[in-house]
Amino acid sequence: MFDIGWGELLVIGIVALVAIGPKELPTVLRTIGQWMGKLRRMASEFQNQFQEAMREAEMADLKKQVDEMTSQAQSYANFDPVSEVRREFESAQQQIESAIGNNPTVETSSPVAAPEGATPTSPTSTSTEPANAPSPDSHAAAPVTPPAEPPSGGSESGTQAAGGKPA
């Protein structure tokens, strides 16, 4: 702290012996020692308080980091991938619906081809019953006929396609 060498201490001691006297010197040195002890304790106490404040500041930073990590861990613990996917699907659906709502709609009433054997009716037809009117038994399934099998050629079974041409 102070840069005082042995020579300077010897000069201070001789001046003190002459100024104070040999009888009072031990009491003065004891008092100076006590004051120096008190100063050292106060300096040590101040230094310890300063270091404690630094530790508390570091602890506050560490506590803040731990709190942030805890909140992140809780958010990961409450993570629900199904709800995330559901939310994404709902937003995509809303985007599609809004895109459809902004575009003009295409006419969906296109003419339907009449089945074989049925005669198409014209809008000016005098018939009151449509040609393809559902029957009262429309809920019953219509019989399905299997497709006709091609005639077999005889010598090579299954190698010729319909019409007699090799496959």
C-alpha dist (Å) from residue 24 to 4, 17, 110: 24, 9, 127
Is residue 137 classed as helix, strand or coil in its secondary structure?
Answer: coil
Instruction: Return d(Cα 84, Cα 92) in angstroms, integer.
Output: 12
| Rounded (10°) CA dihedral 109, 111, 116, 120 | 120
pTM over 0.75: no
Instruction: Return d(Cα 72, Cα 121) in angstroms, integer.
Output: 71
Instruction: Return d(Cα 130, Cα 120) in angstroms, integer.
Output: 9
**pLDDT tens for each residue of the chain, 167 residues long:** 567 888 998 898 899 889 988 899 899 989 999 999 999 999 999 999 999 999 999 999 999 999 999 888 887 777 777 888 899 999 999 999 999 988 655 555 555 555 555 555 544 545 454 555 555 555 555 556 666 666 665 554 444 545 555 54
